[in-house]
A = this chain, B = another copy of it.
Amino acid sequence: MINDKLPKIWYGGDYNPEQWDEAFWSEDVRMFKLAGINVATLNVFSWALNQPDENTYNFEWLDEQMDRLYRNGIYICLATSTGAHPAWMAKRHPDVLRVDFYGRKRAFGGRHNSCPNSPAYRKYSSRMADKLAERYKDHPGLLIWHVSNEYGGYCYCESCAESFRRWLQSRYGSLDKLNKAWNTRFWGHTFYDWDEIVPPNDLSEEREGNRTYFQGISLDYRRFQSASLLECYKLEHDQIKKHTPTIPVTTNLMGTYPELDYFAWAKEMDVVSWDNYPRLNTPVSYTAMVHDLMRGLKSGQPFILMEQTPSQQNWQPYNSLKRPGVMRLWSYQAVARGADTVMFFQLRRSIGACEKYHGAVIEHVGHEHTRVFRECAELGIELEQLSDKLLDSRVESKVAIMFDWENRWAVELSSGPTVSLNYVDEVHKYYDALYQLNIQADMICVEEELSKYDVVIAPVLYMIKPGFAEKMEAFVRGGGTFITTFFSGIVNEHDLVTLGGYPGKLRSLLGIWAEEIDALYPDQKNEIVLTQPWGSLHGTYACQILCDLIHSEGAEIKAVYGSDFYKGMPAITVNRFGSGEAWYVATSPDSAFLAGFMSNICESKGIKPLLPYQKGVEVSKRIKEDISYYFVLNHNQEPTEVGLGNEQFINELSGEVVENTVIVPANGVSILSNKKS
């Protein structure tokens, strides 16, 4: 349990009473109670209010808010307020201001605006955390710490340049090693002094859109900036832990946000929390994947849904309303995949500045007689009923998909072979194939312990870190099934090519050699032709983006290319290795192929769907002690009947016994439990 002070699904969201007159506060509390809200996130953007100058601190307003909320049964997720520095700090300590990718020193404005290597920012942000933790360490309403807000963005200032050089010295020890790791003899980039190294941005090695002349420095700068921001988090975290060692500490992540290596971050967080803002046209399986990824950050521990909108957003081009029922549906999607909380941005809509058209539990009209509030209140009551049943339940998967931020950076920084390759999309293609089969998958890091998995999929695993190939060989040798794809095994952790033939260190495991890589134009396709029918797969499927021209070196050829000069060369291979199998998918197949492919693989390993597939219906399962909870989420716009096989269930929301089938309303949810089977 995240914090046993509040042993149920937490329900609430961001709350900014400091933007409002006292008159609103009692009305807020009245409505929170109507809605079943039990947690409020305070103090997210109050740095300027808390600290009007270098040495003055003002927390009275916060004392009052925390006391009032707690008196009314509402616990506090206490933010540290360092997500945006005060204007006076920007004026008096310009080192807090970032230099942007274009080399421009920024002025005061926006948020996510502090240089992570700024001495002033580090000093004042950690001191703020210290002061807050000291002051509220014994507050009975204090439920969890929320450090800063949505960390992100890189800086390229002189402080960062200097810290980068120190970071490099510590990483490489000598310029000789750095020159080698970055292959600086290319284009005569040899460094003779650490001071010659400048941050890679639009003034030096990079161009917009992750284009770089030197992958080595660009990759390291991403590592360095991710680590620099994490250091800022840790400085606050450590101050907090001094005073409240047992209160959990988190910061809100942003799903597949590209700039931070969240697996590294999660190590420093007591619990993962994240902000979920799908667009109207985001595939639901994509959102599901991101929930699973957030759960995977800490190897399956429940996470916090820290933010979602009750209705619409403001920063999308077209901010559609969430249709009736959709907010509830998506809230349960989070819970289904490991969230033990449902929280909103925001509890009351602000009246000015850029987020005033972002939905809130309490809209501008200010009363409870709105569609949005009614839906929030209905959900609040439902979650109250569920009490602590689901808390700490786990998702169990036999299939794992690897996701790696450093690999992603390297793929995106690659100059050639194609601009069409999107790492996250390729990962999602495999995830989606499993999702459509109602087969649960974990999203894991490449370091994850694999013994509980039967199948491990690593799409486009371009970068092979030390020890990884050996680990996968052991996994397969022991009976595991490993699947990887084109453009895998190419480079080491420095983005230096492993010589001797692609896929490098995975070559003997996969039993193939990739001689060349052809890039297809967006309007070009090739075909995957099965060498013989295999399960539901037969005939021809489309493929695109990249085609590796591979030769089998022992692997069985399951399918070949259907056209172009490499017609007949292998497209899908499997290599028996020890007791297991290693698969190579040499191109990016269409979804029909992947559905059949994943189905065949899972069937061969005895991995069964949670429930029979029904179009538009998502199924996930959480397990607690000996009870399984099946979440049946109907994303269709009409009621849908879902088969349940031969088992009997209890509908946790209605209390009824359910057998054979369940009919789930449009945008509706059923939570069905039975003894763990």
Q: Looking at the complex, which one of B109, B188, B200, B415 makes contact with A200 (CB distance below 8 Å)? A: B109
Cα separation A534 to B258 with both chains bound (whole Å): 55
- Residues from chain B with Cβ under 8 Å of A203 in the complex: 104-107, 109
CB of A99, distance to nearest CB on chain B (Å)? 10
A65 contacts the other chain (CB 8 A): no
- Contact present for A110 and B183 (CB under 8 Å): no
Cα separation A185 to B47 with both chains bound (whole Å): 10
- Contact present for B315 and A415 (CB under 8 Å): yes
- Contact present for B193 and A353 (CB under 8 Å): no
- Contact present for A107 and B204 (CB under 8 Å): yes
CB of A59, distance to nearest CB on chain B (Å)? 14
A262 contacts the other chain (CB 8 A): no
A252 contacts the other chain (CB 8 A): no
Q: Looking at the complex, which one of B189, B356, B500 makes contact with A48 (CB distance below 8 Å)? A: B189
Smallest Cβ-Cβ distance to A564: which chain B residue: B323
Q: Known contacts A353-B183, A354-B215, A417-B314: does B189 contact A513 (CB below 8 Å)? A: no
- Contact present for A416 and B358 (CB under 8 Å): yes
Q: Known contacts A110-B205, A415-B357, A497-B356: does B365 contact A515 (CB below 8 Å)? A: yes
Q: Looking at the complex, which one of B363, B416, B522 makes contact with A312 (CB distance below 8 Å)? A: B416
- Contact present for B88 and A216 (CB under 8 Å): no
CB within 8 Å of B: which A189-215 residues: 189-193, 195-198, 200-201, 203-206, 212-215
Cα separation A212 to B315 with both chains bound (whole Å): 11
Cα separation A212 to B184 with both chains bound (whole Å): 39
CB of A155, distance to nearest CB on chain B (Å)? 14
Q: Looking at the complex, which one of B102, B193, B215, B351 makes contact with A88 (CB distance below 8 Å)? A: B193
How would residues 130 to 144 of chain A score, 1 for a CB under 8 Å from any chain B CB and 0 otherwise? 000000000000000
- Residues from chain B with Cβ under 8 Å of A53 in the complex: 192
- Contact present for B364 and A501 (CB under 8 Å): yes
A467 contacts the other chain (CB 8 A): no
CB within 8 Å of B: which A504-525 residues: 513, 515-522
Smallest Cβ-Cβ distance to A369: which chain B residue: B515
CB within 8 Å of B: which A154-182 residues: 182
A18 contacts the other chain (CB 8 A): yes
How would residues 422 to 442 of chain A score, 1 for a CB under 8 Å from any chain B CB and 0 otherwise? 000000000000000000000
Cα separation A518 to B83 with both chains bound (whole Å): 30
CB of A464, distance to nearest CB on chain B (Å)? 14
Cα separation A90 to B414 with both chains bound (whole Å): 26
Q: Looking at the complex, which one of B19, B45, B84, B495 makes contact with A352 (CB distance below 8 Å)? A: B495
CB of A264, distance to nearest CB on chain B (Å)? 24
- Residues from chain B with Cβ under 8 Å of A522 in the complex: 318
- Residues from chain B with Cβ under 8 Å of A515 in the complex: 363, 365, 370-371
Q: Known contacts A90-B196, A102-B104, A321-B518: does B187 contact A84 (CB below 8 Å)? A: yes
A502 contacts the other chain (CB 8 A): yes
Among A186, A195, A321, A520, max chain B CB count under 10 A is at: A186
- Contact present for A496 and B351 (CB under 8 Å): yes
Q: What is the interface size of chain A, counting residues whose CB is below 8 A from a CB of the partner?
A: 114
Cα separation A251 to B296 with both chains bound (whole Å): 55
- Contact present for A49 and B185 (CB under 8 Å): yes
Smallest Cβ-Cβ distance to A51: which chain B residue: B188
- Contact present for A84 and B365 (CB under 8 Å): no
Q: Looking at the complex, which one of B193, B323, B357, B372 makes contact with A417 (CB distance below 8 Å)? A: B357
Smallest Cβ-Cβ distance to A314: which chain B residue: B416
Q: Looking at the complex, which one of B45, B318, B349, B420 makes contact with A519 (CB distance below 8 Å)? A: B318
- Contact present for A198 and B109 (CB under 8 Å): yes
Q: Known contacts A191-B87, A319-B519: does B312 contact A185 (CB below 8 Å)? A: no
- Residues from chain B with Cβ under 8 Å of A364 in the complex: 497, 499-502
A655 contacts the other chain (CB 8 A): no
- Residues from chain B with Cβ under 8 Å of A371 in the complex: 515-516
How would residues 392 to 417 of chain A score, 1 for a CB under 8 Å from any chain B CB and 0 otherwise? 00000000000000000000001111
CB of A120, distance to nearest CB on chain B (Å)? 15
A317 contacts the other chain (CB 8 A): yes
Q: Known contacts A49-B188, A87-B190, A513-B365: does B317 contact A419 (CB below 8 Å)? A: yes
How would residues 86 to 127 of chain A score, 1 for a CB under 8 Å from any chain B CB and 0 otherwise? 111011000000000011111111110000000000000000
How would residues 551 to 583 of chain A score, 1 for a CB under 8 Å from any chain B CB and 0 otherwise? 000000000000001000000000000000000
Smallest Cβ-Cβ distance to A92: which chain B residue: B196
- Contact present for A196 and B91 (CB under 8 Å): yes
A481 contacts the other chain (CB 8 A): no
CB of A148, distance to nearest CB on chain B (Å)? 12
- Contact present for A365 and B280 (CB under 8 Å): no
A301 contacts the other chain (CB 8 A): no
- Contact present for B353 and A214 (CB under 8 Å): yes
Cα separation A674 to B659 with both chains bound (whole Å): 87
Q: Known contacts A91-B195, A357-B417: does B187 contact A311 (CB below 8 Å)? A: no
- Contact present for B415 and A354 (CB under 8 Å): yes
- Contact present for B565 and A324 (CB under 8 Å): yes
A494 contacts the other chain (CB 8 A): yes
CB of A625, distance to nearest CB on chain B (Å)? 40
A366 contacts the other chain (CB 8 A): yes
Cα separation A369 to B224 with both chains bound (whole Å): 41
- Contact present for B183 and A352 (CB under 8 Å): yes
A46 contacts the other chain (CB 8 A): yes
Smallest Cβ-Cβ distance to A419: which chain B residue: B317
- Residues from chain B with Cβ under 8 Å of A323 in the complex: 565
A-B contact pairs, 11 of them (CB 8 A): A47-B188, A49-B190, A86-B188, A86-B190, A110-B204, A183-B353, A321-B549, A349-B497, A351-B496, A365-B515, A371-B516
Q: Known pairs A355-B415, A372-B516; list 5 more (Cβ under 8 Å).
A: A49-B190, A107-B201, A319-B519, A357-B415, A365-B515
